[in-house]
Chain A
Amino acid sequence: MNPLLVQFLSESRDFSQDIGQKLLQMEDAPSDQGLINELFRLVHTLKGNSGLFTFPEMTRVLHAGEDLLGMVRDGRIAYSRELADRLLNAIDFVMELCADIESTERIDASRAKDAARMTESLRGLMPAVECEAPASARINAAAATAEEMPTLAELPGATREELLRHCRAGEALNWISYAPVHDCFFQGDDPFFCARQTPGLLWGGARPSEALPSLAELDTYRCVLEFHLVTSASREELDEHFRYVTEQVRIVAVNPQWLELTESNHADPHCIAGRSVIANAPAQTAPSSGAGEAWRERTAAINAIFAAQQQILMLDDHPDWRAGRIRAVGAVLVNLARSAGDQVAASEIQAALTECLSTGRNSLLLLWLETSKAHLIASLSGASAPLSTNPAATRSNGSEEAPPASEVGPAQSTPGDGIKFGRRAEDSSAGPRNLKVDQAKIDRLMNLIGELVVSKNALPYLAQRAETQFGVRELSREIKGEYSVINRIADEMQDAIMQVRMMTVSSIFQRFPRLVRDISRKLGKEVQLVLEDEQTEADKNIIESLADPLIHIVRNSLDHGLETPEIRRARGKPETGTLTIRAAQQADRVVIEIIDDGKGIDPAVIKQKAYEKGLIDESTLERIDDREAINLIFAAGLSTAAVISDLSGRGVGMDVVRSAVEKINGTVVIHSELGMGTTIRISLPLSMAVTQVMIVESDGQLFGIPMDNVVETVRVPKRELRKIKQSLAAVLRGRIVPLKSLNTMLGISATPLANSDDELAVLLVQAGGEILGLLVDGFRETIGLIQKPLSGFLSGLSAYSGSALMGDGSVLMILNIREIV
């Protein structure tokens, strides 16, 4: 699930709870202005948040709630228990929606109806003026059946036949009237597009919703069109499609008879013979349901046949065709009578028909229809049916049994109903799965586990003492056994707490698209930003302290690294530069690379600049290679941009980057190829909590050296040491390594001790890209420990980065290698 959505859900839950609480408090203090302000703010915020996503149902309900509370706040309506009930209901509904979203990441379209009812119930409490819109919608809905006939009648004959075919094929058609609000363009709607996209669309038409103004007066941004559609899509699909504009849409199930009726009004009258026509079909709204349905349909069909015959007889256009018509009607009626088994009626009709044909008048047949058809209908419909001979009565009967269920939501509820939605306070619901915890609590847990790790380290000492001092070997072994158990649990616990503190780098990466866009616009450069492996995790503190350095680097890359499109073209590169920010986890470190394909860094320029600014002396200028030269850009006070811009070039930046990264025990290196681009690589520990240190001994004291600095440990025979001027050096693996005595650096007068083979212990450390050999007396083990910064008087000692408590209770000082070399 999208992290933004996760946050939204967790916040919504909090808000909903707050709103519920405040509403209950309001019951005791209904006139508390502070409370109502707070309530309004909460609902307002929640509504705003929901608008970020595509949850129109939620937004709509909250919007109504906000309006209502706004009125309470302004004193236009009084707070009442009823009001609180409905708002609580609305909030419950919102919570339900949240649960829906949590499980399916969307709101089911079926909720739209509930949302509309909810909204209606809230708006029902508002004074009449304010709820004008829904009220008129109600009227519209009530008048729906009377209104749609003309529209269907406007359909061209061919379309209607087509629709009729669909109906006969058993498809349920829906008729939709979509009257967009006048200011819908400002909400980004394109009603025409929406109408065109309607699922299962069979026919659609646009027409003005009001008289069109003259061309001079037309306001382009005021929508004056409305749309009428016929579709074969199901009600659910339509609800889903129109979920944003529920109030503007009316959906009515099409009764096939409407299509047939309209035919009689417009189509060529000669074509209607044999087709059923019902004179007053509009009264028959929704398709009826229930046991009597089949019977009703049959009756309606028979009625229709008779009505059609009657109508044909009444036609009086072409006297030449009359005979043919009479014969046709007569044949139909005779067949009807026969199928009813009514031989008397059949012979009656036959007689009337012969009479009519001989006189050329149809009055006799008409008369027969008037007087005797009821009898025939009755026998045709079947004896068991509760038949009423009056078609109108039949229909009204039918519509009572089957209320028009197909109207849109708002029409059904009246404000006084006090609609309730499923959930009640006592209903249990799945609690939120996310906890929001104060960081201080996690930090405390972290400290405690740190202490545990340290005190656990005391057990091996104890085991050793048991064996050596008290000579109880058995006990020693048992202690060691217990130790390994505690060790495992403590490790897992530490890991678990670290997991809690883990954040993905995406939390800082996500600000880059905007940053890069803005800066590249400003600089007139074309830049494509590529973010890779955003899901890489690291400790929260690490991630947070990474944000600023990364922004510096990205700005620098954009400003100094990437060229303008013209220059890039001239150099045969694609006009759009690429800036890649990539994260990866490598063992216990997070590596972040910022790669651009810009012009790269010219080591000669850097060297020269650094020399000019006095950062390096002449001998260094001669000595250092290109790689080292490029890393000089991390030195304070060096800027390579010829022009100082507001983005970068003031000589602060890269040195800030380095110090920020080093503060969290990270390293930063830069590789650059002139003309090809630059890669900056930041390597950070996954977590700052536990530092791996190597313990060395010098002059009888123990010192810790962070493993990040340690390259290797070697023993060098004394005779292989070379003295160059005042300093010692040795050739190790083919390169000259300067050697320094740790004692000297710490101001201890003792000389390094050699072992029995006359070899010196050399710890190779790396500091600021240089390798240096530290002469110590001996190496001890490597341990993980929680480093505590020096405080108080000791905090001024820069030679130490901190101290840690050892398992035997002694204090280990951790050296800050960078400071002392």
Chain B
Amino acid sequence: MPIVFKRNRAVFQGGAGVEEAEGLLEWLQKRPTAKADLSACNHLHTANLQVLMTAKTGISSWPEDIELRAWLEPALKAGE
């Protein structure tokens, strides 16, 4: 599973495809305070990215992939 949903934390692993976005959105709609753990994430599809940006999801840990982090940090922090 590219995204594992813990109690209040969505843990991303590897690459999250477009098909994950719907589930992520529904899950976040129910848990507005949920955080995302991106440490093991190496890519997320644009659809997932825009869900995270819209939901202004807090990030509990940033990707270890420095290049991805450089992309995500400004985009997701801007929403906070």
Chain A positions within 8 Å of B40 at CB level: none
User: Is A190 a contact partner of B18 (Cβ separation < 8 A)?
Assistant: yes
A529 at the interface (CB under 8 A from B): no
User: Nearest Cβ distance between residue A764 and chain B, in whole angstroms?
Assistant: 67
User: Is A208 a contact partner of B53 (Cβ separation < 8 A)?
Assistant: yes
> Given A192-B45, A223-B50, A225-B46, is A206 in contact with B18 using a C-beta cutoff of 8 Å?
no
Chain B positions within 8 Å of A207 at CB level: 75, 78
> Given A212-B54, A218-B54, is A206 in contact with B49 using a C-beta cutoff of 8 Å?
yes
> Given A196-B67, A212-B53, A215-B54, is A223 in contact with B47 using a C-beta cutoff of 8 Å?
yes
User: Nearest Cβ distance between residue B72 and chain A, in whole angstroms?
Assistant: 8
User: Nearest Cβ distance between residue A553 and chain B, in whole angstroms?
Assistant: 39
What are 22 A-B contacts with C-beta separation under 8 Å? A156-B74, A192-B46, A192-B71, A196-B71, A206-B71, A207-B78, A212-B50, A212-B53, A213-B54, A214-B54, A215-B29, A218-B50, A218-B54, A220-B21, A220-B25, A220-B50, A221-B21, A223-B46, A224-B50, A225-B46, A225-B50, A225-B53
B35 at the interface (CB under 8 A from A): no
Chain A positions within 8 Å of B54 at CB level: 212-215, 218
Chain B positions within 8 Å of A190 at CB level: 18, 45-46
Chain A positions within 8 Å of B71 at CB level: 192, 196, 204-206
B residues in contact (CB < 8 Å) with A: 18, 21-22, 25, 28-29, 32, 43-47, 49-51, 53-55, 67-68, 70-71, 74-75, 78
A221 to B46, CA, bound (A): 10
User: Is B28 a contact partner of A215 (Cβ separation < 8 A)?
Assistant: yes
Chain B positions within 8 Å of A189 at CB level: 46
Which residue of B28, B47, B67 contacts A221 across the interface (Cβ within 8 Å)?
B47
Chain A positions within 8 Å of B53 at CB level: 206, 208, 212, 225
A470 at the interface (CB under 8 A from B): no
User: Is A185 a contact partner of B43 (Cβ separation < 8 A)?
Assistant: no
A321 at the interface (CB under 8 A from B): no
Give the residues from 180 to 231 in chain A that come closer than 8 angstroms, CB to CB, to chain B.
Answer: 180, 185, 189-193, 196, 204-208, 212-216, 218, 220-221, 223-225
User: Is A215 a contact partner of B25 (Cβ separation < 8 A)?
Assistant: yes
User: Is B46 a contact partner of A180 (Cβ separation < 8 A)?
Assistant: yes
Chain B positions within 8 Å of A206 at CB level: 49, 53, 71, 75
A153 to B14, CA, bound (A): 33
Residue of A nearest to B71 (CB): A204
> Given A206-B75, A218-B54, is A185 in contact with B29 using a C-beta cutoff of 8 Å?
no
Chain A positions within 8 Å of B74 at CB level: 156, 205
- In the A-B complex, list the 6 residue pairs whose CB atoms are closest, starting with the nearest: A192-B46, A220-B21, A206-B75, A212-B54, A218-B54, A191-B46
Residue of B nearest to A154 (CB): B74
The A contact surface, by secondary structure, is loop
User: Is B46 a contact partner of A216 (Cβ separation < 8 A)?
Assistant: no
Chain B positions within 8 Å of A192 at CB level: 43-46, 49, 71
Chain B positions within 8 Å of A225 at CB level: 46, 49-50, 53
A214 to B28, CA, bound (A): 12
Chain A positions within 8 Å of B47 at CB level: 185, 220-221, 223
Residue of B nearest to A223 (CB): B46
User: Nearest Cβ distance between residue B9 and chain A, in whole angstroms?
Assistant: 17
A775 to B51, CA, bound (A): 88
User: Nearest Cβ distance between residue B66 and chain A, in whole angstroms?
Assistant: 12
A221 to B29, CA, bound (A): 16
A193 to B18, CA, bound (A): 11
User: Is A193 a contact partner of B75 (Cβ separation < 8 A)?
Assistant: no
> Given A192-B49, A221-B47, is A216 in contact with B29 using a C-beta cutoff of 8 Å?
yes
User: Nearest Cβ distance between residue B27 and chain A, in whole angstroms?
Assistant: 11
> Given A204-B71, A205-B74, A208-B50, is A196 in contact with B25 using a C-beta cutoff of 8 Å?
no
User: Is A193 a contact partner of B49 (Cβ separation < 8 A)?
Assistant: no
Chain B positions within 8 Å of A212 at CB level: 50, 53-54
Chain A positions within 8 Å of B49 at CB level: 192, 206, 225
User: Is B25 a contact partner of A218 (Cβ separation < 8 A)?
Assistant: yes
User: Nearest Cβ distance between residue B10 and chain A, in whole angstroms?
Assistant: 14
> Given A213-B54, A218-B50, is A185 in contact with B18 using a C-beta cutoff of 8 Å?
yes
Chain A positions within 8 Å of B25 at CB level: 215, 218, 220
User: Nearest Cβ distance between residue A53 and chain B, in whole angstroms?
Assistant: 24
Residue of B nearest to A184 (CB): B46
User: Nearest Cβ distance between residue A538 and chain B, in whole angstroms?
Assistant: 44
Chain B positions within 8 Å of A224 at CB level: 50
Of residues B43, B67, B74, which shows the largest number of chain A Cβ atoms within 10 Å of its Cβ? B74
Which residue of B22, B43, B50 contacts A193 across the interface (Cβ within 8 Å)?
B43
User: Nearest Cβ distance between residue B19 and chain A, in whole angstroms?
Assistant: 10
Of residues B50, B51, B70, B75, which shows the largest number of chain A Cβ atoms within 10 Å of its Cβ? B50
- With A185-B47, A220-B22 known, 7 other A-B pairs at CB within 8 A are A193-B46, A204-B71, A212-B54, A216-B29, A218-B50, A218-B51, A220-B50
Chain B positions within 8 Å of A221 at CB level: 18, 21, 47
User: Nearest Cβ distance between residue B64 and chain A, in whole angstroms?
Assistant: 16
Residue of B nearest to A213 (CB): B54
A196 to B65, CA, bound (A): 12
Residue of B nearest to A189 (CB): B46
User: Nearest Cβ distance between residue A528 and chain B, in whole angstroms?
Assistant: 26
User: Nearest Cβ distance between residue B73 and chain A, in whole angstroms?
Assistant: 10
Chain A positions within 8 Å of B21 at CB level: 220-221
User: Nearest Cβ distance between residue B62 and chain A, in whole angstroms?
Assistant: 15
User: Nearest Cβ distance between residue B47 and chain A, in whole angstroms?
Assistant: 5
Residue of A nearest to B15 (CB): A193
Which residue of B29, B43, B50 contacts A196 across the interface (Cβ within 8 Å)?
B43
A213 to B25, CA, bound (A): 13
> Given A215-B25, A220-B21, is A205 in contact with B46 using a C-beta cutoff of 8 Å?
no
Residue of B nearest to A159 (CB): B70
A225 to B45, CA, bound (A): 11
Give the residues from 50 to 89 in chain A that come closer than 8 angstroms, CB to CB, to chain B.
Answer: none
Residue of B nearest to A207 (CB): B75
Chain A positions within 8 Å of B28 at CB level: 215
A185 to B45, CA, bound (A): 9
Chain B positions within 8 Å of A216 at CB level: 29
Residue of A nearest to B45 (CB): A190
Chain A positions within 8 Å of B18 at CB level: 185, 190, 221
Chain A positions within 8 Å of B45 at CB level: 185, 190, 192-193
Of residues A191, A218, A220, which shows the largest number of chain B Cβ atoms within 10 Å of its Cβ? A220
User: Nearest Cβ distance between residue A197 and chain B, in whole angstroms?
Assistant: 10
Chain B positions within 8 Å of A214 at CB level: 54
User: Nearest Cβ distance between residue B52 and chain A, in whole angstroms?
Assistant: 11
Residue of B nearest to A203 (CB): B70
User: Nearest Cβ distance between residue A358 and chain B, in whole angstroms?
Assistant: 49
Give the residues from 121 to 173 in chain A that come closer than 8 angstroms, CB to CB, to chain B.
Answer: 156
Chain B positions within 8 Å of A191 at CB level: 46
User: Nearest Cβ distance between residue A178 and chain B, in whole angstroms?
Assistant: 11
User: Is B55 a contact partner of A215 (Cβ separation < 8 A)?
Assistant: yes
A200 to B30, CA, bound (A): 40
Residue of B nearest to A212 (CB): B54
A204 to B69, CA, bound (A): 11
Residue of A nearest to B72 (CB): A206
User: Nearest Cβ distance between residue A187 and chain B, in whole angstroms?
Assistant: 11
Chain A positions within 8 Å of B43 at CB level: 192-193, 196
